[in-house]
């Protein structure tokens, strides 16, 4: 990364998926490398399963903490529909990192609208120049907790190379931020997420 380059990652999901924590881990990894990092969140009724969007920008000189449309190097979508709604932020050759598990919006659950996460995922796969799809059920089963998906997604981000942050950088951020009793489980999730990215 040169001194004037800014890398941008937009994370989107629904309340309770750990979107904001994942953005903090990415920012911490960048700062540990001596880079500046700025974050911003848009949270709509997050505790009730509403949309959560986090912006992370890293570099030497960052004019704004929010990502302009069409300029994100990466979108991390914790939910296919949320990723589709925020696709306008992704640059032309950007990377999509997606969880395959759908979370039905409240309107669909009440029968007010139709939503098919599989169709949404198939549509997204055609939109990114590179698309990494993660099966959260496999990672959750292996790690023993539903709370590790966000860390797995940061592992995929590191392995993609799109933000110039290595797996080692992410590991260091986890060691700083995680309680010791949770560290081993999260490191396992980090490496499983990275493996998903390198297999594609």
Q: Give pLDDT tens digits for 66-77.
A: 999 999 999 999
Nearest to 167 by CA among 178, 177, 183, 155: 155
Using DSSP bridges, classify how beta strands 72-77 and 130-134 pair: parallel, antiparallel or unpaired: unpaired
Task: Give the other-Cβ count within 10 Å of 134's Cβ.
Answer: 26
The answer to whether residue 107 scores a pLDDT higher than 50 is no
Q: Per-residue pLDDT for 165 more than 60?
A: yes
**pLDDT in the model for residue 120:** 85
pLDDT at position 129, please? 73
Q: How confident is the model at residue 114, as a pLDDT?
A: 66
Sheet arrangement for strand 72-77: 36-43, 51-59, 6-14, 72-77, 90-99, 130-134
Write down the pLDDT at residue 103. Answer: 78
> What pLDDT is stored for residue 186 in this prediction?
96
Between 47 and 39, where is the model more confident?
A: 39
Whole-angstrom distance, CA of residue 159 vs CA of residue 25? 15
């Amino acid at each position: 990364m040169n001194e004037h380059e800014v890398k941008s990652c937009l994370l989107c999901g629904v309340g309770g998926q750990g979107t904001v924590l994942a953005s903090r881990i990415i920012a911490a990894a960048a700062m540990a490398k001596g880079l500046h990092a700025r974050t911003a969140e848009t949270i709509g009724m997050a505790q009730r399963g509403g949309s959560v969007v986090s912006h992370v920008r890293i570099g030497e000189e960052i004019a704004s903490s929010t990502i302009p449309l069409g300029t994100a190097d990466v979108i991390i979508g914790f939910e296919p529909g949320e990723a589709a709604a925020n696709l306008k932020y992704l640059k032309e050759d950007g990377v999509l990192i997606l969880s395959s598990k759908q979370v039905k919006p409240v309107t669909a659950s009440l029968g007010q609208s139709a939503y098919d996460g599989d169709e949404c995922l198939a549509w997204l796969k055609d939109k990114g120049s590179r698309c990494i799809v993660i099966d959260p059920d496999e990672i959750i089963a292996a790690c023993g907790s539903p709370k590790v998906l966000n860390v797995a997604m940061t592992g995929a981000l590191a392995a993609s190379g799109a933000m110039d942050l290595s797996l080692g950088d992410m590991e260091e951020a986890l060691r700083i931020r995680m309680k010791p009793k949770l560290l081993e489980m999260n490191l396992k999730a980090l490496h499983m997420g990275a493996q998903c990215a390198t297999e594609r």
